[in-house]
A and B are shown apart, each in its own frame.
Chain A
Amino acid sequence: AAGVIQSPRHLIKEKRETATLKCYPIPRHDTVYWYQQGPGQDPQFLISFYEKMQSDKGSIPDRFSAQQFSDYHSELNMSSLELGDSALYFCASRVTRRNTEAFFGQGTRLTVV
């Protein structure tokens, strides 16, 4: 079965650079979520999209933005990177109306040096 695909799997950036993370949800899933998991931390909700429209925002810094495209893939754009942005970034997708569980991608490990 198809799973949530995230790319790249690993990314190393320098401070003040920009990073773009991509997420391809499971086909026919209408909602995408982004989470940030710092070292030794629990995942924190950043932002979500339902049918290509932003549906909710969590603790997402102003330096970050995200969007969902017509093919339902989503991108998380991160600018002016800081050392504290080093984390594992998960994308998850689900079918909203069925209230099913969210399926997670394997994550993108971002290291800011």
Chain B
Amino acid sequence: AQTVTQSQPEMSVQEAETVTLSCTYDTSENNYYLFWYKQPPSRQMILVIRQEAYKQQNATENRFSVNFQKAAKSFSLKISDSQLGDTAMYFCAFMKPDYYGGSQGNLIFGKGTKLSVKP
């Protein structure tokens, strides 16, 4: 079974600075997908970034980038130029590929990291 571990329950960062959230996972699969979801106080689940395991290049989305280390099973999220609106709970999630609507495709989440951006 797959597991996802986020070892930082809470973090804080000053506005405009950079912060890195850690995530490790355990799987015997070779092909899979990793995601970071953001959950602001509104409780909406918002996709931040995704990474395909077969791609060596780290994904980036504007101020958000990941450091994907497949051998180490590590998937950290870096937020540059932090903004007050980045304050949220951040969940790392694992997904096995699901091509035929079978028993994969559901997300396995870590426990989350609560990020506070301070002015």
Using a CB–CB cutoff of 8 Å, the interface residues on chain A facing chain B are 30-31, 33, 35, 37, 41-45, 48, 50-51, 53, 55-56, 58, 88, 90, 92, 94, 96-97, 99, 101-104, 106-107, 109
Q: Does B103 contact A (CB under 8 A)?
A: yes
Question: A42-B109, A50-B102, A88-B43 given. 6 additional CB < 8 A pairs?
Answer: A55-B102, A56-B102, A97-B99, A99-B33, A99-B99, A102-B107
Q: Say whether A56 contacts B50, CB under 8 Å.
A: no
Given known contacts A30-B101, A42-B91, A107-B43, A101 and B50 CB-to-CB distance under 8 angstroms:
yes
Q: Say whether A31 contacts B101, CB under 8 Å.
A: yes
Q: State the Cβ distance, B55 to closest chain A Cβ, in Å.
A: 12
Interface residues of B in 72-119 (CB under 8 A from A): 91, 95, 97-112
Kindly state the separation between the CA atoms of A35 and B91 in the bound complex, as whole angstroms: 14
Tally inter-chain residue pairs, CB-CB below 8 A: 74
Q: Say whether B44 contacts A104, CB under 8 Å.
A: yes
Number of interface residues, chain B, beta carbon within 8 A: 28
Interface residues of B in 15-43 (CB under 8 A from A): 33, 35, 37, 42-43
Q: Say whether B106 contacts A99, CB under 8 Å.
A: no
A90 cross-chain contacts in B, Cβ below 8 A: 45
Could you pull out 28 A-B pairs where Cβ atoms are within 8 angstroms?
A30-B101, A31-B98, A31-B101, A31-B105, A33-B105, A35-B107, A37-B43, A42-B110, A44-B109, A45-B106, A45-B108, A48-B105, A48-B106, A50-B101, A50-B102, A53-B101, A55-B102, A55-B103, A55-B105, A94-B105, A96-B101, A96-B105, A99-B33, A99-B98, A101-B33, A101-B47, A104-B45, A107-B44
